[in-house]
């Protein structure tokens, strides 16, 4: 069974439309929206709202892990548009998120199994899903003789992305899976080599609950994304092969595996 897996799509709709070609099953591990493009500050919702110069300064602050400065820049930019209320800000951004979702779900292969990334808005997905596109978050799907478990979202972080979950709630979703043969998540387990981004020069937040689950259950594979430029793309925990499937927005090709 040939499986194609993508994560961290971040607006790459044209490549997404071709990502399932030649596969038996297609899986998407989230982060569809492009809020901010670290490689090209002229792209993304932030640049569309405030311009590429603002986006570049905002990226520089976040890359320096100066999140207080980043929030100051954000507040100043919104004030420049005359919008101080957080509810009004979201109303403006929601229209732009919905426009991206409309384009991306139209490009999304079908059939597909999907889960959420931390840079996703789960409440908006139902209105854009197409026939054959199935969302699984904290659940299991049966594929042939195998059980595939899916856990979406990220953990609370200084980045304050839309779908961040407290560790206790994330751990509950992991525990509810019971044993699976293949584990699919957006974020990695809490292992330094898998969570450190060598370009952003920081550790992303990995999950201790995932690490404990893998040690206890030993699924055949754990496939995930989230860290765009990891120190290591794969490692083994016992007999489990843990693999970062890659930053799809940059690679423009799926991770391919024969299961």
Q: What whole-number distance in Å separates Cα of residue 147 and Cα of residue 159? A: 33
For residue 159, the model assigns a pLDDT of 85
Cite the DSSP H helix spans in the chain.
13-16, 45-50, 52-63, 67-80, 86-107, 167-175, 192-195, 208-217, 248-251
- Averaged pLDDT for residues 140-165: 95
Residues 10-26: tens digit of each pLDDT: 999 999 999 999 999 99
For residue 38, the model assigns a pLDDT of 85
Domain ranges for the chain, please list them.
2-33+110-258
- Averaged pLDDT for residues 211-222: 98
For residue 203, the model assigns a pLDDT of 93
The string of DSSP codes covering 163-193 is TEE-HHHHHHHHHTT-S-SEEEESSPBS-HH
Nearest Cα to Cα of residue 214 among 144, 156, 151: 151
- Averaged pLDDT for residues 156-166: 93
Residues whose CB is less than 8 angstroms from the CB of residue 1 and which lie 6 or more positions away in sequence, other chains included: 24, 25, 143, 144, 258, 259
pTM: 0.94
Q: Judging by DSSP bridges, how do beta strands 196-197 and 202-203 pair with one another?
A: antiparallel
Q: Is residue 39's pLDDT more than 90? A: no
Q: Is residue 183's pLDDT more than 90? A: yes
Q: Is residue 64's pLDDT more than 90? A: no
Q: Is residue 80's pLDDT more than 90? A: no
Question: First and final CA of the chain: distance in angstroms?
Answer: 5
Q: Is residue 90's pLDDT more than 90? A: no
CA–chain centroid gap for 105, Å, is 15
CA–chain centroid gap for 7, Å, is 6
Please provide the size of the chain in residues. 259
E strands, 83-165, where? 112-114, 133-135, 139-143, 146-151, 154-155, 164-165
For residue 78, the model assigns a pLDDT of 87
The mean of the pLDDT values for the chain is 95
For residue 213, the model assigns a pLDDT of 98
What the block records as the tokens of 95 is 């229209």
Superfamily name with CATH number, domain 2-33+110-258: Metallo-dependent phosphatases (3.60.21.10)
pLDDT class of 84 with cuts at 50, 70, 90 = confident
Q: In the chain, count of helices (H) and strands (E)?
A: 9, 15
Per-residue CA distances from 184 to 39, 108, 113, 221 (Å): 27, 18, 10, 8
pLDDT class of 199 with cuts at 50, 70, 90 = confident
């Amino acid at each position: 069974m040939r499986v194609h897996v993508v994560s961290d799509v971040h607006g790459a709709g044209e490549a997404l439309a071709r990502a399932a070609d030649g596969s038996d099953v297609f899986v998407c591990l989230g982060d569809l929206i492009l809020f901010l493009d670290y490689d090209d500050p002229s792209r993304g919702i932030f640049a569309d709202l405030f311009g590429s110069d603002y986006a570049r300064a905002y990226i520089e602050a976040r890359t320096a892990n100066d999140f207080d400065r980043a929030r100051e820049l954000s507040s100043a930019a919104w004030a420049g548009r005359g919008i101080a209320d957080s509810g009004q800000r979201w109303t403006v951004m929601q229209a732009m998120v919905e426009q991206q979702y409309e384009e991306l779900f139209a490009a999304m292969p079908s059939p597909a199994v999907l889960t959420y990334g931390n840079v996703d808005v789960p409440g908006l997905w139902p209105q854009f899903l197409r026939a054959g596109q199935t969302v699984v978050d904290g659940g299991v799907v049966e594929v042939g003789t195998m059980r595939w478990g899916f856990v979406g979202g990220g953990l609370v972080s200084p980045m304050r992305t839309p779908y961040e979950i407290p560790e206790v709630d994330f751990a509950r979703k992991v525990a509810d899976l019971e044993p699976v043969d293949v584990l699919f998540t957006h974020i990695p387990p809490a292992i330094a080599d898998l969570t450190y981004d060598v370009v952003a020069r920081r550790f992303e937040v990995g999950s201790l609950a995932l690490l404990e689950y893998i040690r206890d259950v030993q699924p055949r594979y754990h496939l995930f994304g989230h860290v765009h430029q990891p120190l290591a793309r794969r490692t083994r925990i016992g007999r489990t092969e843990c693999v970062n499937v890659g930053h799809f927005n940059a690679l423009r090709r799926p991770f391919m595996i024969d299961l």
